[in-house]
Structure 1
Amino acid sequence: MPVPDGDFVLLKEAVRDAGALAMRYFGTDLRKWSKDADNSPVTEADIAVNDLLQARLTSARPEYGWLSEETEDDAIRLSRRLTWVVDPIDGTRAFARGQPHFVVSVALVADGRPVIAALFNPATDEFFDAAIGGGARLNGRSIHVSNRSEIEGCRIAAFAPMFKHPGWSRAGIPPWPEMDILERNSVAYRIALVACGMADAALALNGKSDWDLAAADLIVTEARGCMTTHDGRPFTYNRESTRHRSLLVAGPALHDAMLARLGAIRLPD
């Protein structure tokens, strides 16, 4: 669907300001605690950035839904055709340790798919954005995924110990070839690195949420990449359940090669 007038400018300005706010906390003695539900970390910066984005975006577009990692879910979003999907700081663990591997992540989702998106790593001054049908950019310059087709020797953004797990051999999957494994705490940032060609692929076989994926999904797709579950299913956002079981991202040829290896794996519920 066409992007409503002014929404892309609104989104990018809000994300830039949110990144500037995050940097006021970065490298300081943060207040931090764990969420009761899943023991994941949260800091005072996550809440402050969330509050800024919610105030800016919902006041300008009160008719849109809102879904954020740091806001209690409101089912009214399910009745809204347009919904903001937000992770105020994706990569909180890295942020709290003073590592520059985090992003502010915001997408506008329409009928289950992102139509505009921005990811901002203010610590490295990397601003990714995309609009459906309009390509993807890093700091204003067009980006695209790599054209690599072979798994061996590829640069993959993933959790390194995963490739040594004994479950691969039990599932009849041959040992992984040598790869250059790039570890980043933020899954959205990993996907963005694929979008700009700094990584060839990204893989995760554990659960992710809408706010981890929606903005990065549009950016890598507009950069001519493919993003699916490990067995090739596309993502749909702003459903009742916001969880997704796995993630595979790469350029088309490498995505096909990875699917051939991964597609038969059955993950536990």
Structure 2
Amino acid sequence: MTEAAAAQDLLDRRADLELIRTVVLVAGERALTERDAGLKVWSKSGGSPVTNADLAVDQLLREALLSARPDYGWLSEETADSADRLEARRIFVVDPIDGTVAYMKNKPWWCIPIAVVEDGRPVAAVIHAPALNETFEAVLGGGARLNGRPITASDTETLDDASVLADARLMEGPHWPEPWPVMRLEKRNALAYRMALVAAGAFDAAIALSPKWDWDVCAGALIAEEAGALVSDHHGRPWRFNRADPRQASLVCSAPALHSLILKRCASIPLGL
């Protein structure tokens, strides 16, 4: 790539970040308004809940983003997938409401994650948590921020007493060859928000050993990595996006010194994909 082309790509990514930041704030207000007006809730195939607000926010995002970038592809939890996105150099990856159960129950731990993926990797991303007034963002090579202020992952070096976002039943189960040390385990509904909290240093790691959809983790991957965290599946394989199967095998997002320690303990657990 020529120097001029690289400079243009950087300008494009910054423009994309400004676009998705502007649109996600509007989408957050729409989600709050829809909930205040009363939600209609039903179950999707597989049993997970969906609301009229999920669909309304999805439509708002799709119309606003694709009208501004008509040549970009689209991948969203609430839009039927199309193979057309595989031919696009850049695509939007969106979850209209990540953490729908928390959203329905008026809990604060839900968010709207949006990423722009270019040639298989996220290059601009925003995670907006409207109920908490928190907006995380990053552009490739430009660091990560929360409400405009730079953030960095924690410098924790040991798993003992680490603060970890993971299911206690998973971490304390009998299937581990070596028990985990005592850690402070907590849960948050939205995967994207968990990764944002690791990026901000509020938690030392987030672990989930089952396959995860791209729309849940794509924005978080860029924000976490730009904050200095490490992200992979639990066998250490790096993620790549905009593939025919829009899933990652599992999630390990952690402070840099903890990543290899977590992978070592997870090595015996088979990959789900």
* Length-normalised TM-score, structure 2: 0.93
Are 1:155 and 1:179, in contact at CA under 8 Å, matched by a contact in 2? yes
Q: Which residue of 1 aligns with 2:251?
A: 247
User: 1:268, 1:47 → 2: CA distance?
Assistant: 29
Counterpart of 2:122, as a letter, is P
Return structure 1 stretches of 4+ with deviation > 6 angstroms: none
Distance 1:32 1:256, change over 3 A: same
Are 1:11 and 1:118, in contact at CA under 8 Å, matched by a contact in 2? yes
Q: Secondary structure at the match of 1:203?
A: strand
Q: Which residue of 2 aligns with 1:74?
A: 82
Are 2:250 and 2:272, in contact at CA under 8 Å, matched by a contact in 1? no
User: 1:268, 1:73 → 2: CA distance?
Assistant: 22
Q: 5 Å matches for 1:17-166?
A: 17-26=26-35, 29-36=38-45, 38-166=46-174
Asked if residue 225 in structure 1 is aligned to residue 229 in structure 2, the reply is yes
Are 2:211 and 2:272, in contact at CA under 8 Å, matched by a contact in 1? no
Are 1:34 and 1:40, in contact at CA under 8 Å, matched by a contact in 2? yes
The offset of 1:3, in angstroms, is 4.7
The offset of 1:29, in angstroms, is 3.5
Are 2:235 and 2:271, in contact at CA under 8 Å, matched by a contact in 1? no
Are 1:3 and 1:115, in contact at CA under 8 Å, matched by a contact in 2? no
Moved more, 9-18 or 254-263: 254-263
Structure 2: give runs of 5+ residues left out of the alignment.
Answer: 1-8
User: 1:48, 1:166 → 2: CA distance?
Assistant: 43
Counterpart of 1:86, as a letter, is V
Distance 1:3 1:85, change over 3 A: farther
Asked if residue 6 in structure 1 is aligned to residue 15 in structure 2, the reply is yes
Structure 1: give runs of 5+ residues left out of the alignment.
Answer: none
Give deviations 1:158-185, integer Å, cap 9, x for gaps: 11211122222xxxx2112111112001
Asked if residue 15 in structure 1 is aligned to residue 15 in structure 2, the reply is no
Q: Secondary structure at the match of 1:2?
A: helix
Are 2:140 and 2:226, in contact at CA under 8 Å, matched by a contact in 1? yes
The offset of 1:28, in angstroms, is 5.6
Are 2:108 and 2:131, in contact at CA under 8 Å, matched by a contact in 1? yes
Q: Secondary structure at the match of 1:167?
A: coil
User: 1:243, 1:156 → 2: CA distance?
Assistant: 23
Are 1:3 and 1:116, in contact at CA under 8 Å, matched by a contact in 2? no
More helix by share: 2
Asked if residue 174 in structure 1 is aligned to residue 178 in structure 2, the reply is yes
Give deviations 1:57-114, integer Å, cap 9, x for gaps: 0011110000000000011000000000000111011111111111100000001000
* Length-normalised TM-score, structure 1: 0.95
Q: Secondary structure at the match of 1:88?
A: coil
Identity of aligned residues (%): 46
Are 1:230 and 1:263, in contact at CA under 8 Å, matched by a contact in 2? yes
Calculate the aligned-residue CA RMSD, in Å. 1.3
User: 1:88, 1:266 → 2: CA distance?
Assistant: 31
The offset of 1:268, in angstroms, is 4.6
Are 1:191 and 1:249, in contact at CA under 8 Å, matched by a contact in 2? yes
Are 1:27 and 1:96, in contact at CA under 8 Å, matched by a contact in 2? no
Are 1:27 and 1:97, in contact at CA under 8 Å, matched by a contact in 2? no
Give deviations 1:229-269, integer Å, cap 9, x for gaps: 01101110010001122100111111121112112321355
Are 1:27 and 1:98, in contact at CA under 8 Å, matched by a contact in 2? no
